[in-house]
Chains A and B, each alone.
Chain A
Amino acid sequence: MSSTATVDNLEIPAESRLNYLNASYGIKSWLLTTDHKRIALLYLVSITFMFLVGGVAATLMRLHLIEPQGALVDPETYNRLFSIHGIVMVFFFLVPSIPATLGNFLVPMMIGARDVAFPKLNLMSWYIYITGAAFTLYAAVTGGVDTGWTFYTPFSSNYSHSAVIPVALGVFITGFSSILTGLNFIVTIHKMRAPGMTWFRLPLFIWAMYATSIIFILGTPVIAITLFLLGLERLLHIGIFDPAVGGDPLLFQHLFWFYSHPAVYIMILPGMGVISELITAFSRKRIFGYSFVAFSSMAIAVISFLVWGHHMFVTGQSVYAGLVFSVLSFLVAIPSAVKVFNWTATLYKGSISYQAPMLYALGFIGLFTMGGLTGLFLASLAVDVHLNGTYFVVAHFHYIMVGGAVMAYMGGLHFWWPKITGRLYPDAWARFSALVIFVGFNLTFFPQFVMGYLGMPRRYAVYPPEFQVLNVMSSAGASVLAVGYVIPLVYFIWSMRYGPPAGPNPWGAKGLEWETPSPPPTENFEEIPIVTEEAYNYPQLPEVARG
């Protein structure tokens, strides 16, 4: 598959054909848009900015950790750095990333609709996101919080001298952005599919977004009320989370993790949906086990709500509850494993090409598997007693979040960029930065598994000297990783002006979104398509057809 655009039909330069980008001009046409595609771009810009903010915090942390006694900041500041890194990355980058950008852009297109069910709510959800982000950023620059992104009580409610309430308020507000996005997607997917687009002909990305939206709806309100209670406690000091007056700090943790565990599935499920699209497109093959992959997304959404106590094995939770949560946590690994098996089986005898999106997808499969398996170590109660609170946990979730979710996000951006902007980016640079990211990522986070296993605690500004080599490796990796993320920023922006025009389907992929011009017109389709074929209906090679 060539990496330059192969033109199927007469190519009209993007600038002269009417599309959603040039349909209207001026800042008002963007800030007051109800077009899901423009809203997706608004989100893309804001989310990228928040990613950079979180990345700066991470950079400072890793620079600091080059020396055992800390090279850069005092412990107080270090606490604030890891807190803001977590808060920004979780709530303002990972949770909205794929749903609000790729989801908003693609969901209506993939199902053959003209827009989402509630376009004005969609715009409102972006404004809510911006408002929440503004609160949190303001709080961050005036000192931030030192409680960690987990805001554990009674420290956060009774003892911390930091901007807990403004930050909590920012996160509270942004939660409503997620809720509205999830609501919009569920209604859109149920009610606005094109004729012939039955549930089992939907792209798996849609199944993944649907499952994610269920988590948005049922989980996010709980973090909202939790932060509300935290704020109230901080203001009034009644003691609902203070053991000194009979409050239960673990109640806060139950409330917090009831959302925050499913939240991590919010972060990974859309990525898994992207991977299903990438693997099929770059193996030019039907997905193996479509219904298994579709149902596994739903299973993950449901079971994800049953496992939150595994974050509380060592904080005082009852052993019996711990047992239950441990078993359930093992269960939740199964649907994820099902997906990995199905993706791998899809690759088998596929006609594989290694453009940038595929490199990200392949990287995802390996790194997500490692992250997932190490999650099982942590799900074992007895093992978690030793590993909890160490860098092992940090490495585990970064393998999933960065090695998994962020790589899927990058892969998706690279895959759909031609559709979104009508431009191609230089594939050689894209492949190069994918490799840089892969190398940088592993160099950053693999040493952390070792550190954690050897006992180095997380969230510490200083560490014993014997861990220095590993820390320096990790920091070196982080600088490589940073370079890997900056390069796409450069060529993506470059491509918007100088990239060659992309045709409707530069990858030759299957899907309704590829049957529109790039960039698409505002109304998505001239005529609503009528769907007659299954998803990923690539022509089957004779050997594959024989089985």
Chain B
Amino acid sequence: MTVHAVHGEHPPGFAHQFEDMEQQREAGNLGMWLFLATEVMFFGGLFMSYIVYRTKYPGAFADGSRLLNVKFGAVNTAVLIASSLTMAMAIHSAQTGKKKPQVWYLILTMILGALFLFLKFNFEWRADYHEHLIPGFGFYVRPEWGGGGAHVQMFFLFYFFMTGLHALHMIVGIGILTVLTVMAARGRFYEQYYAPLESSGLYWHFVDIIWIFLFPLLYLAGGRYPIPGVTH
């Protein structure tokens, strides 16, 4: 445990329940990881339910999965991965004392996040709405699904709920990034103090990881290889 520093020597951003900045930083880091653990279990409940029904109704879930637009899904995956890179670079800039790049990387991260949401809502979801694939909003059971119509609807419930919850987390993340960008522009982060960036980075990467699992489980669930006799 480090020696308690003389009062008045604490750098800006210090919170007084702590002994020193190192303890504060470690506490903040641990706190964010614990929060991410709760998020793992939160999304985990959904993943588990999805797995259960996918195991029970593989055909219907594959039918549903093939109706998703894999091009947009893959592009969006790349967009999110890029945003994780820019987020990591923002923190790197703070660690190396560069103020301007911090701000640019944060803005770039937000733009990529917004792009993800734009592609999803404006292209994927809007198309799904017009094709009557949103449960509760005029869902139409197609004849080619045979008797599994209700199960395909279940697939789409999971699809919209899981990607919707993910999108909600993205929106919150962009909100946090906005605040961070303002703080970074005011020069609040530097080599010794960038904990809020680090914590928010962890959150952002976590949301990326959720998508890393959502993409194959939802979009590639039934495979994308041609099935004889099926045209879509």
Q: Does a CB–CB distance below 8 Å link A and B in the complex? A: yes
Total cross-chain contacts (CB, 8 A): 105
Q: Which residues of A contact B53 (CB under 8 A)?
A: 240, 248
**In the complex, are the beta carbons of A246 and B57 less than 8 A apart?**
yes
- Interface digits, A175-209 against B, CB 8 Å rule (1 contact, 0 not)? 00001001110110011100100000000000000
B residues 1-39 touching A (CB-CB < 8 Å)? 1, 4, 16-19, 23, 26-27, 30-31, 34-35, 37-39
Q: How far is the CA of A258 from the CA of B46 in the complex (A)?
A: 13
Q: Which residues of B contact A115 (CB under 8 A)?
A: 17
CB of B52 closer than 8 Å to a CB of A: yes
B residues 191-221 touching A (CB-CB < 8 Å)? none
CB of B161 closer than 8 Å to a CB of A: yes
**In the complex, are the beta carbons of B157 and A232 less than 8 A apart?**
yes
Q: Which residues of A contact B172 (CB under 8 A)?
A: none
Distance between B19 CB and nearest chain A CB, rounded to angstroms: 8
For B136, the closest partner residue in chain A by CB is A236
Q: Which residues of A contact B39 (CB under 8 A)?
A: 221
CB of A281 closer than 8 Å to a CB of B: no
For A118, the closest partner residue in chain B by CB is B31
For B3, the closest partner residue in chain A by CB is A195
**In the complex, are the beta carbons of A192 and B38 less than 8 A apart?**
no
Partner of A224 from the list B17, B42, B56 (CB cut-off 8 Å) is B42
Distance between B55 CB and nearest chain A CB, rounded to angstroms: 11
Q: How far is the CA of A118 from the CA of B35 in the complex (A)?
A: 13
Distance between B192 CB and nearest chain A CB, rounded to angstroms: 18
- Interface digits, A93-128 against B, CB 8 Å rule (1 contact, 0 not)? 000000000000000000001111111000000000
**In the complex, are the beta carbons of A248 and B37 less than 8 A apart?**
no
Interface of B is mostly: helix
Please give the number of chain B residues whose Cβ is less than 8 angstroms from any Cβ of chain A in the complex: 36
**In the complex, are the beta carbons of A239 and B153 less than 8 A apart?**
yes
For B26, the closest partner residue in chain A by CB is A191
**In the complex, are the beta carbons of A183 and B56 less than 8 A apart?**
no
**In the complex, are the beta carbons of B27 and A240 less than 8 A apart?**
no
Partner of B49 from the list A113, A182, A240 (CB cut-off 8 Å) is A240
Q: Given A116-B17, A221-B39, A229–B49 Cβ distance below 8 Å?
A: yes
CB of B45 closer than 8 Å to a CB of A: yes
**In the complex, are the beta carbons of A255 and B49 less than 8 A apart?**
yes
CB of A219 closer than 8 Å to a CB of B: yes
**In the complex, are the beta carbons of A246 and B41 less than 8 A apart?**
no
**In the complex, are the beta carbons of B157 and A236 less than 8 A apart?**
yes
Q: How far is the CA of A304 from the CA of B30 in the complex (A)?
A: 24
**In the complex, are the beta carbons of B136 and A225 less than 8 A apart?**
no
Distance between B80 CB and nearest chain A CB, rounded to angstroms: 22
For A190, the closest partner residue in chain B by CB is B30
Q: Given A217-B34, A239-B154, A222–B45 Cβ distance below 8 Å?
A: yes
**In the complex, are the beta carbons of A191 and B23 less than 8 A apart?**
yes
CB of A218 closer than 8 Å to a CB of B: yes
CB of A10 closer than 8 Å to a CB of B: no
Q: Which residues of A contact B27 (CB under 8 A)?
A: 117-118, 187, 191-192
Distance between A166 CB and nearest chain B CB, rounded to angstroms: 20
**In the complex, are the beta carbons of B154 and A246 less than 8 A apart?**
yes
**In the complex, are the beta carbons of A221 and B45 less than 8 A apart?**
yes
Q: Which residues of B contact A245 (CB under 8 A)?
A: 150-151, 154
Q: How far is the CA of A42 from the CA of B205 in the complex (A)?
A: 36
Q: What is the interface of chain B, defined by CB distance below 8 A to chain A?
A: 1, 4, 16-19, 23, 26-27, 30-31, 34-35, 37-39, 41-46, 48-49, 52-53, 56-57, 135-136, 150-151, 153-154, 157, 161
Q: List 27 A-B contacts (CB under 8 A).
A: A116-B17, A118-B27, A119-B17, A190-B30, A192-B18, A217-B34, A217-B37, A217-B41, A218-B37, A218-B38, A222-B42, A222-B45, A225-B43, A225-B44, A225-B46, A229-B45, A229-B49, A232-B157, A236-B135, A240-B154, A245-B150, A246-B56, A246-B57, A246-B150, A246-B151, A248-B52, A255-B45
